[in-house]
Amino acid sequence: MSERSVSRALLRIGALTTAAILAFGTATSGAQAQEPETPTSTVEPTQTTEPSTPPSEPSTPPSEPSTPPSEPSTPPSTPPSEPSTPPSTPPSEPGTPPSTPDTKPEDEKKDAPPVIARADEQRPDLAVTVTPDKAEFAAAEDIGLTLTVKNKGDVPAVNIRFGYETSQAWLFSGANELSSRPTLAPGAEKVFRVVLRPTSPTSDSVSFQFRATIDGSADPTPGDNGKDLHIPVRQYKGSVSGVVYTDTNNNGAYDQGEGLPNISFRVQGGSPAGSNWGFTDANGAYTMWSVVAGKYSVVSVDNDRRAAKPGFTDFVVEADKTTQFALPVVAPVRDSLTATMSFGKSSYHVSEKPELTITLKNSGAQPIERVVAVCSGYGPEYLNSDNFSALRPDGPGVTVPAGGETTVSVTTDMPKLDYPWIYANCFFGNTGRSTSGSVWVGNVRATVTGLHGDYSGKVVNAETGEPLRGAAINVLDPVTRRSLKDVIAADQDGNLRIYSLNPGKVLIQVAGKWKPQDGNEFLVDIVADKTTTRDLKVVPSDVDVPDVSHRPDLTVSVKFDKDSYDIAEPMRANITVKNIGTGHEAQVSLRVRQTPDVRNVLDFDRSQLGDIADETKKVFLWPGESREITVVGTAPYLSGNDNKVSLPLEVSTPVDHGPANNSALATTTVTYLNGDAAVVLYGDANKNGRKDADEQALPNVKVYISGGNRPSKWAEATTDESGRVAFKDFPVGLYSVYASYPDGWVRPGSDRLTVSANAEAVLEIGAERPLSDKFFATLNFTKDEYRADENYEAVITLENQTGADMPVVNALCSGAGEPGEIYNTGSGWGGLAWDGGGVSVPNGEKRTFRVTGPLPTEAASIGYATLGCHFAPDSSDPGAARAHDDLKVPGLRADAFGKLVTDGANGDVPKPATTVVVVEAGTKKVAARTITDADGNFGVSQLPVGRYDLIVPGPWKVEIRRMNPWFLVRAGGQSWVQLFHLVPGPEVEDPGYPLPEDQTPGTVTPVTPGASGGAGAGTAEVLAKTGASVLGLGLLGALLVAFGFGASLIGRRRQVV
């Protein structure tokens, strides 16, 4: 195999294998969205640098899979895109996201150089640890963390600045500690608690990042000033598969042809509770993935145009299992069911149980079974059907015969009432608590006695005997002195009538300058269902009794507790809602008011507002009462450009007599702090974790830095002769650092660097020699070609020259997820299987192992299979020994199509009338040649399936900007139009048309118009939509190979036998 073929194949393996285990490489994403990164930077020493997307970093070393990887069964129609070689011309620079805002006062905006510490200077040295309460949390459970900040330095750490970011969770508690600016003596530590609350009960993980810095002080060891965690949340999930069908022949089972295509349905249930949608394909089949375990019920089918057949609405999802659930559907019962309903009598005493008579009629030709009642309403006066005997929602229901009727009588408890009447509003259907497709009957009413009494009397001036016409009367609770009714006016004759008073004593006042004749307040005993009569005799008074007319006036105020906040600091706002009106209690609700620019609104958990903001609850405030609320949040992740955060609020009540004070707005400022970073790379030959005088610097190495608090930032630069590189003016925060180590050097684990405000953080990183310097691996298939139905056999040789025995060497054989990859699974791999327990290789010995197994099922259709493996005690070790080989599976032939384009200012430009020569990968034998049409399309017919290279004669180089960098001929892949980019390059000679003697010439196949813009074009479109860059993918892959994560064997070329 050629060196280029090996390089390409291993690049794919290294890139995607490592990408699959990367996590949290940049600043933690927000609960709503991620702030765009800033792709420009100032670096030292001055280098010519191009923005590129650095790779993400694994939060933990790669690990072996807990379950064997599944082999792909069919080739993808559109493989992932990545260039095999970097484009010869750089891509256009991405649009520049918002730069770091400058919010300092004018007198602080002067360019002051950051503090660069002397080597012998004593400094505080902070170290941070974050410890979750448990390794894994249950779904919807609060996540407790213990944060520890220690000063390892020799001098006090003064005014420490904390910062945090979290994703998929709210900060539930700990805001006070995170906002504190403590001082720590040498050796002292601060320990405090933080609790996070997941934003969604179905979140699989929560991310949290914390850092501690001191403004103007360069920490001696900036690698331990911050921590980021991915905290797993255990979700018990399974999947559901089945078919939605109409049981046409009424045999109680699905038969071919009964499936309903393009049907949607919704189910509710699970723990924690939620809902899921299912969608059927052309045959009525469906699958719902990642469904939370628990019991579910079908609540809607086809937008209520159909209904689940009774008895087939419920199913249970078990964790890590697939539930088979066939859903027969029928016409909704409302098409044939009618209902009438009446109370047994028109009036009930409050102590009685109401009785309802329900008549159900079926006009259909089939009986309607399991009919139940779902009754509810907006107040206590509406009856609930949970105790309607057989008709209760979870009960057995009743059957209504075809063309007949069924009458049912039910009794229920009298609800606790505010008003002297009751209602029944009910849905009748046969899908349990779901009202989908049901028939509704409502507004059936009965009065209730024994609940209230009345008062009547006359208001008289006792001195004159004249009635007080239109006198204002207050009705109060004698204990609380609160109003029970709105002010009631006497008529022109002084007569007064007050209805619906609760039994017991009430206090009646005559408003104005009047007092009771005998000096005693008017206390009246109210008796249920009776009218209490008493005249109110008053005389003039010097004291003016105010009327307590119901005139609610709600006001809201809000204020942040600081005028400005650091971007990574929790923000607090104090809210007061008050009823400054008069009368009795007023219903009140609070909400965040809509604003023209929602990007500036505080991002916080709205549940902090409490029940006063819950539309499902009724909250009342009496005159003079208030609610005090404190909410904690952060700056929004899509914040505007004015560095402001606002909290607009609005309070409402059904009738407000002072609406001008119903809204309030608080505004604060967000500040952004910057500092510098420097990285020093060296070869840690003795692996002691520090740079010794005799250890070499690593010059001319690309270093990538990515992260920081919002706005996040990344850059790349090259180390100077001392192995040092500097990055200027970076936002304070935690950064991931990567380097493309040369000459086989590797860096186990991950590196973090925390930038402090107005200081230069210097991180020394020691690379190590790889295990593969002294531990070697080879891998060879026993023959070059295999039939599709026979097992492969490969010989693996492991040689240990490390100086120590290796009692356990594990293997990890995987790839980039491309078709044809062979994994180390099955009994034929023995101890080298992914779960085989490993093999021993004593020092100084070479051991040989034979492994075997079936070829991937798709090998015949693509014409090849590949095997690439890592060998080490920890097979995720970046310095592991690696080996690779591939084989051919001849037999099938297929057509293949491509499209030739060049890079244009506005995208791809087709390259018409251009000769394309197709040659075998590796041998370079000419297999076919053709010419592109007017749209740059070309095609070949009936070539042996496999991998080919393209040659375009002239001053061109062909770039394939995807993971699998060949022209692929695959059975079943004829609809895929593969995209190839032409870029200027050295002159390429036309190889002519010397087809191999043993090969039938491939026929030039014109591309049909329908093939244009097929899967090849779709790949580019999909990448654009997801924000991926084909150039970025290529550079990422190359970078990972340089890291040692990729399976690179470029330096160990060998011939396949």
Question: Any bridge partners for residue 869, and if so which?
Answer: 813, 883
pLDDT at 212 over 60: yes
Q: What gap in Å lies between CA 720 and CA 726, rounded to an integer?
A: 10
Q: Return the HEC string of 411-445.
A: ECCCCCCCCCEEEEEEEEECCCCCCCCCEEEEEEE
Give the closest residue to 426 by CA, choosing from 308, 303, 339: 339
Cβ atoms 440, 424 nearer than 8 A: no
For 529, list phi and psi in degrees, rounded to 5.
65, 15
List of residues 6+ apart from 745 with CB closer than 8 A: 683, 698, 767, 768, 769, 770, 1044
DSSP sequence for 572-634: EEEEEEEE-SBSS-EE-EEEEPP-S-GGGB-EE-GGGGGGGG-TTS--EE-TT-EEEEEEEEE
Tokens 């009446």 — which residue?
Answer: 342
pLDDT at 444 over 80: yes
pLDDT at 1012 over 80: no
Tell me the average pLDDT across 987-1001. 66
Q: What gap in Å lies between CA 189 and CA 192, rounded to an integer?
A: 10
Q: What gap in Å lies between CA 842 and CA 807, rounded to an integer?
A: 7
Give the closest residue to 824 by CA, choosing from 740, 782, 883: 883
Residue 750's pLDDT band (cuts 50, 70, 90):
confident
Tell me the average pLDDT across 862-871. 96
Residue 418 confidence (pLDDT) = 87
- Tens of pLDDT, residues 138-187: 988 999 999 999 999 999 999 999 999 999 999 999 999 999 999 999 99
List of residues 6+ apart from 896 with CB closer than 8 A: 939, 940, 943, 967, 968, 969, 970, 973, 974, 976, 978
Q: For residue 536, which amino acid is it?
A: L
pLDDT at 488 over 60: yes
Residue 637's pLDDT band (cuts 50, 70, 90):
confident
Cβ atoms 458, 534 nearer than 8 A: no
DSSP 3-state percent helix, strand, coil across the chain (nearest 5) = 10, 45, 45
**Which contiguous run of DSSP H or E holds residue 888?**
strand 881-888
Region of 201 please: left (phi>0), alpha (psi -120 to 50) or beta.
alpha
Give the closest residue to 432 by CA, choosing from 406, 393, 462, 471: 393
DSSP sequence for 1029-1054: -HHHHHHHHHHHHHHT-S---GGG--
List of residues 6+ apart from 945 with CB closer than 8 A: 860, 861, 862, 863, 891, 892, 893, 894, 969, 970, 971
Give the closest residue to 676 by CA, choosing from 112, 150, 96: 112
Tokens 């034998």 — which residue?
Answer: 925
Query: How much is the mean pLDDT over the chain?
Result: 84
Q: What gap in Å lies between CA 912 and CA 163, rounded to an integer?
A: 57
- Tens of pLDDT, residues 1036-1048: 333 333 333 333 3
Residue 118 confidence (pLDDT) = 57
Q: Record the pTM.
A: 0.71
3-class secondary structure, 1021: helix
List of residues 6+ apart from 2 with CB closer than 8 A: 922
Q: What gap in Å lies between CA 19 and CA 106, rounded to an integer?
A: 45
Residue 47 confidence (pLDDT) = 37
**Which contiguous run of DSSP H or E holds residue 16?**
helix 3-20
Cβ atoms 763, 738 nearer than 8 A: no
Q: Strand order of the sheet with strand 881-888?
A: 839-841, 806-813, 864-872, 881-888
pLDDT at 1050 over 70: no
- Tens of pLDDT, residues 554-603: 999 999 999 999 999 999 999 999 999 999 999 999 999 988 777 899 99
Cβ atoms 708, 730 nearer than 8 A: yes
- Tens of pLDDT, residues 456-479: 999 999 999 999 999 999 999 999
Q: Any idea what DSSP says for residue 17?
A: H
Tokens 């069908």 — which residue?
Answer: 245
Q: What gap in Å lies between CA 419 and CA 195, rounded to an integer?
A: 45
Q: For residue 846, which amino acid is it?
A: K
- Tens of pLDDT, residues 696-717: 999 999 999 999 877 789 999 9
Residue 120 confidence (pLDDT) = 62
Q: What gap in Å lies between CA 415 and CA 353, rounded to an integer?
A: 9
**Which of 261-270, 427-436, 683-692, 1008-1017 is least confident?**
1008-1017
Residue 152 confidence (pLDDT) = 96
More confident residue, 980 or 379: 980
Cβ atoms 1018, 744 nearer than 8 A: no
pLDDT at 658 over 70: yes
Cβ atoms 153, 185 nearer than 8 A: no
pLDDT at 19 over 80: no
Residue 616 confidence (pLDDT) = 84
Q: Range(s) for CATH 2.60.40.10 in the chain?
A: 453-545, 771-888, 893-1026
Cβ atoms 864, 947 nearer than 8 A: yes
Give the closest residue to 302 by CA, choosing from 357, 244, 254: 244
Residue 816's pLDDT band (cuts 50, 70, 90):
confident
Burial state string for 532-561 with b = 16 or more CB within 10 A and e = fewer than 16: beebbbbeeeeeebebbbbbbbbbbebebe
Dmax over Cα atoms in the chain, in whole Å? Answer: 133
More confident residue, 271 or 897: 897
DSSP sequence for 225-273: SEEEEEEEEE--EEEEEEEEE--TT-SSS--TT-B-TT-EEEEEETTTT
Using only C-alpha atoms, the chain has a radius of gyration, in whole angstroms, of: 39
Q: Return the HEC string of 127-163.
A: EEEEEECCCCEECCCCEEEEEEEEECCCCCECCCEEE
In this structure, what token pair is assigned to residue 751? 């590196």
3-class secondary structure, 669: strand
Residue 297's pLDDT band (cuts 50, 70, 90):
very high
Cβ atoms 679, 698 nearer than 8 A: no
Give the closest residue to 670 by CA, choosing from 647, 645, 648, 646: 645
Question: Domain 771-888: which topology?
Answer: Immunoglobulin-like (2.60.40)
Do β-strands 42-44 and 724-731 pair in parallel, antiparallel, or remain unpaired? antiparallel
CA 738 to chain CA centroid, Å, is 26
Tell me the average pLDDT across 542-563. 95
- Residue 688 class from Cβ within 10 Å (0-12 exposed, 13-18 middle, 19+ buried)? exposed
- List C-alpha distances in Å: 994 to 214, 271, 939, 956, 1011: 72, 67, 19, 21, 29
Measured N-to-C along each axis, helices 3-20 and 1030-1043 cross at an angle, to the nearest 10 degrees, of: 90
Tell me the average pLDDT across 773-801. 97
Do β-strands 536-545 and 512-516 pair in parallel, antiparallel, or remain unpaired? antiparallel
- Tens of pLDDT, residues 367-420: 998 999 999 888 889 999 999 999 999 999 999 999 999 999 999 999 999 889
Residue 310's pLDDT band (cuts 50, 70, 90):
confident
Q: What gap in Å lies between CA 372 and CA 297, rounded to an integer?
A: 15
Cβ atoms 1048, 17 nearer than 8 A: no
Q: CATH top-level class for 893-1026?
A: mainly beta
CA 50 to chain CA centroid, Å, is 31
In this structure, what token pair is assigned to residue 786? 């295999």
CATH superfamily of 453-545: Immunoglobulins (2.60.40.10)
Cβ atoms 306, 331 nearer than 8 A: yes
- Tens of pLDDT, residues 105-116: 333 333 455 556
Q: What gap in Å lies between CA 954 and CA 935, rounded to an integer?
A: 19
